[in-house]
Amino acid sequence: TVRADLVLEAMAQLAAADIRPRWWKLEPYQAVEPARRVAAYGAAHARSGCLVLGRGADRELVAEWVATAAGVPGYSGFAIGRTLWVEPLHEFLQHRCDERDVAAKMAANYLYFVNVYRQQKGS
């Protein structure tokens, strides 16, 4: 609750300065209510909406965050990176897979989160 209040305060200060980002890339929330409050304000003061970040967390936790965001109006998607590529890159650097394999593993990770988001969104 405190973090959501601080995020809303920061967003309000930026909006008062007439700063409207294309996307608000937001820290994740596991609870729906703070996610809803932040996303509603963020979507009203951004040109495209809100994205949930992955923070480099493990796959299961990021899937929870993506699912929460998908069920909240104002979120338009996710912006995750390390969760997608750290393990495949590590395998590649350890010579346990080749370039094709690492690209396929990264793509499979991305599609996994697309499916999590779409299933929760109902699309």
Each of the 123 residues of the chain gets a pLDDT tens digit; together they read 689 999 999 999 999 999 999 999 999 998 999 999 999 999 999 999 999 999 999 999 999 999 999 999 999 999 999 999 999 999 999 999 999 999 999 999 999 999 999 999 986
> What pTM was estimated for this model as a whole?
0.90
Question: Residue 35, Cα to own-chain centre: how many angstroms?
Answer: 12
Q: What is the pLDDT of residue 123?
A: 66
Q: Considering only the C-alpha atoms of the chain, give the largest distance between any 2 of them, rounded to a whole number of Å.
A: 52
User: In angstroms, what CA-CA distances link 103 with 35, 58, 79, 116?
Assistant: 32, 19, 18, 20
